[in-house]
Every structure is written in structure tokens, then in C-alpha cells.
């Protein structure tokens, strides 16, 4: 339930449908992926063929689901959306695959979390458009081959490196999604504000973009909280002052750090002089589980160059002292 988490919550799901760009031209940023994908789709259209399978890798909230929907829209094809964790048994996957229609796009989110037997069934489906459906159990079981219509699998994963090579190799193209630059997030925010009928200053959008951790989903979520504040406390217009006040209320600071992130830095700086300090000691002092500190707070702090993980423990960088407005202790004489 952190405001700055990149995973989707219930409210996100409810409103995201309205904010998704519908075609490649409307999709902001990710120039390289967009250009590569545009070529793949255009070539397939010219050949009257189904595009190659596409793998999209990158952190949550950067637009992988959106791109899969765009692929379907650009090909004028229907889309089916599911995820690795939802496919526990090979039979679950067989049921989905056997009901696909010609040219359909199958979006498989978190593809690295599929079960092993399902994964093996997918290899054959991707390569030969065929599955073996096992009927019966034990020695009497028989495999009935089933032809599938050509379809395009769009797989999404947080890290392409997590995929077994045989699966990775069956994708014709891998798009690596990057975090968005602030200027790109500003464009996302202006677009969303227009769709939500909000009045936002360019500087107001910049203020929100700077706190959005390079992630459109977070930008859109922060925009909704700022909208509430602007509406309740003012006349609805989003200026930089109002955006900053609103996000201060929600404890998302100017760089996108929330309360937990700041607590980790604060303890590291004030209690341990900037480190090095071990993870478990740091976590106890923050009053959190080690896993929470390591998996929830640290990745962004590391990415922002505020904290470093070293063999001797966690250390704060000069930027961390600066960000919290503290002075590092003077180096010992000599």
C-alpha cells in the first residue's frame, strides 16, 4: 500500500484502462523498443502474417501490458491476458492455447513464474503451433497432438535473464524497457491530465514527474492524489506549489523517496555515521524486517545512488547526506 510502489493496486487497475495509449504513436518514450516493434509489426502486416513472439523485459509499471494491447490493436487482432502465476498446470495452458483464434495475441505477464510443465508445453506451442494434450493417467495415458492457429505470444518479465535460455530463444524479438526520463513522464502526466479533464501547469507536471521514480504507473497514481488535494484545498488547478504540498502530505519527497526510504537513510546516516553497517542491524534500527529493507527500500536507493551495498555492509553516499540535509562527519585526521 505504498504510494510509490510500481505494482498495480485495485484503484490503478480500475482507472488504468482509461489512461492506456491505444497505438504506438500515442505511446510515450521507449524510443528504441517502439521503433523495433514498429518494424516487426509493419513487416508482418506487409506479409499478411502473424508477428513473431515478443518478449518485453523491465520493471513493473513501465508499459508492458499497454504495449501488448497496442500490438494487438496494430494487428487488428484480439488479445488474451494471463500471467505465469495463474498457470499452475500444463492443462491450464493447454486450455488457453487451444481456444486461441488465428492471429490472436496472448499476453503472458510474469512469464518467468510459470510452472515447469507448462513452460515445456509452451516451447512446442511457440515453435510448432502444436501442443500434446495428455489424456488419461498412468501407463494408459496417451498424448493427443493438437494443431494451434498461428498466434503471437507477448511475454513480460522483470528480468530477461531469469528466463531459461530455451524459452528466451523462442522469442523473435526482445524489447528492453527503460525507466522514463522526467521529460517523458511530464508528457505522460499532461496526457493523463487531459484525459481526466484536469488543469495542470507545466511546472506542476514537472514537480510530480520528479517524484515518480521513472515509472508512468507511479506518475499517474501521484497525479490522482494531487488532484484530490487540489480539489479539496484549492480550486482544482495543479501548480507546482500545490503538487509539492500534496505529495508532502503523502510523504513522497522531491526525489520520490517515501517514509520507509527516508527512514532507512536517516538511520544509516544519523545512527551509523553513513555505515558500513550490516543489513540486519540496519533493519532492526529502522524497525522493519530485513527483507523489507532489502527488497522494498534498497533497490530504489541504490538506483538513485544514495546507498551502496558492499561486502562490509551498507554505506551511504555523499548524495544521501546531501539529500537529507545533513553534514557528513569530518574524516579522521591523518
Residues belonging to the binding site for Mg(2+) are 65
Comparing CB distances to ligand ADP, the nearer of 64 and 211 is 64
Residue nearest ligand ADP, Cβ-based: 63
Comparing CB distances to ligand ADP, the nearer of 87 and 188 is 188
Whether 290 contacts 280, CB under 8 Å? yes
- Whole-number minimum distance, CB 52 to ligand ADP, in Å? 20
Provide the binding-site residues for ligand ADP, judged by CB under 6 A.
Answer: 16, 19-21, 27-30, 60-66, 188, 216-217, 220
Give the C-alpha distances (Å, rounded to integers) separating 149 from 72, 90, 130, 133.
Answer: 16, 19, 8, 15
- Whole-number minimum distance, CB 66 to ligand ADP, in Å? 3
Helix (H, G, I), strand (E, B) or coil at 172: coil
Distance of CA 276 to the CA centre of its chain: 31
Grid cell at residue 259: 517514509
Torsion (CA) 236, 241, 247, 250 in degrees, nearest 10: -80
- Whole-number minimum distance, CB 187 to ligand ADP, in Å? 8
Residues within the annotated binding site?
A: 19-20, 61, 64-66, 127-129, 170, 180, 217, 309, 314
Whether 118 contacts 126, CB under 8 Å? no
Residues within the annotated binding site for DNA?
A: 309, 314
Question: Residue 10 contacts by C-beta under 8 Å, 6 or more apart in sequence?
Answer: none
Cis, peptide link before residue 276, omega less than 30° from 0: yes
User: Residue 311 and residue 316: Cα distance in Å, rounded?
Assistant: 14
Nearest Cα to Cα of residue 112 among 156, 69, 175, 171: 156
For residue 258, give the H/E element and its range.
none
- Whole-number minimum distance, CB 68 to ligand ADP, in Å? 8
Supply the residues annotated as catalytic.
Answer: 64-65, 109, 158, 217
Amino acid at each position: 500500500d505504498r504510494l510509490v510502489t510500481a505494482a498495480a493496486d485495485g484503484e490503478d487497475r480500475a482507472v488504468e484502462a482509461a489512461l492506456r495509449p491505444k497505438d504506438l504513436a500515442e505511446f510515450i518514450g521507449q524510443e528504441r523498443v517502439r521503433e523495433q516493434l514498429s518494424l516487426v509489426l509493419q513487416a508482418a502486416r506487409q506479409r499478411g502474417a502473424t508477428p513473431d513472439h515478443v518478449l518485453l523485459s523491465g520493471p513493473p509499471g513501465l508499459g508492458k501490458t499497454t504495449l501488448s494491447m497496442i500490438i494487438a490493436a496494430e494487428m487488428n487482432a484480439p488479445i488474451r491476458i494471463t500471467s505465469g502465476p495463474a498457470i499452475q498446470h500444463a492443462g491450464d495452458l493447454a486450455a488457453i492455447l487451444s481456444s486461441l483464434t488465428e492471429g490472436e495475441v496472448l499476453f503472458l505477464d510474469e512469464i518467468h513464474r510459470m510452472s515447469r510443465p507448462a513452460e515445456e508445453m509452451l516451447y512446442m506451442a511457440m515453435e510448432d503451433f502444436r501442443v500434446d494434450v495428455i489424456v488419461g493417467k498412468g501407463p494408459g495415458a496417451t498424448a493427443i497432438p493438437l494443431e494451434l492457429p498461428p498466434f503471437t505470444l507477448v511475454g513480460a518479465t522483470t528480468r530477461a535473464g531469469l528466463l531459461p535460455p530455451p524459452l528466451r530463444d523462442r522469442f523473435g524479438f526482445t524489447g528492453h524497457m527503460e525507466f522514463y526520463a522526467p521529460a517523458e513522464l511530464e508528457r505522460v502526466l499532461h496526457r493523463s491530465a487531459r484525459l481526466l479533464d484536469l488543469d495542470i501547469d507545466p511546472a506542476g507536471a514537472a514537480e510530480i514527474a520528479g517524484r515518480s521514480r521513472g515509472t508512468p504507473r507511479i506518475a499517474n497514481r501521484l497525479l490522482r492524489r494531487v488532484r484530490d488535494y487540489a480539489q479539496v484545498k484549492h480550486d482544482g488547478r495543479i501548480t507546482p506549489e500545490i503538487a509539492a504540498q500534496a505529495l508532502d502530505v503523502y510523504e513522497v519527497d522531491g526525489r520520490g523517496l517515501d517514509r520507509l526510504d527516508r527512514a532507512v537513510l536517516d538511520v544509516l546516516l544519523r545512527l551509523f555515521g553513513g555505515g558500513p553497517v550490516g543489513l540486519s542491524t540496519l533493519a532492526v534500527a529502522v524497525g522493519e524486517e530485513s527483507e523489507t529493507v532489502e527488497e522494498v527500500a534498497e533497490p530504489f536507493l541504490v538506483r538513485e545512488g544514495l546507498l551502496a551495498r558492499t561486502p562490509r555492509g551498507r554505506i551511504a553516499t555523499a548524495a544521501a547526506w546531501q539529500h537529507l540535509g545533513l553534514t557528513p562527519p569530518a574524516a579522521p585526521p591523518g
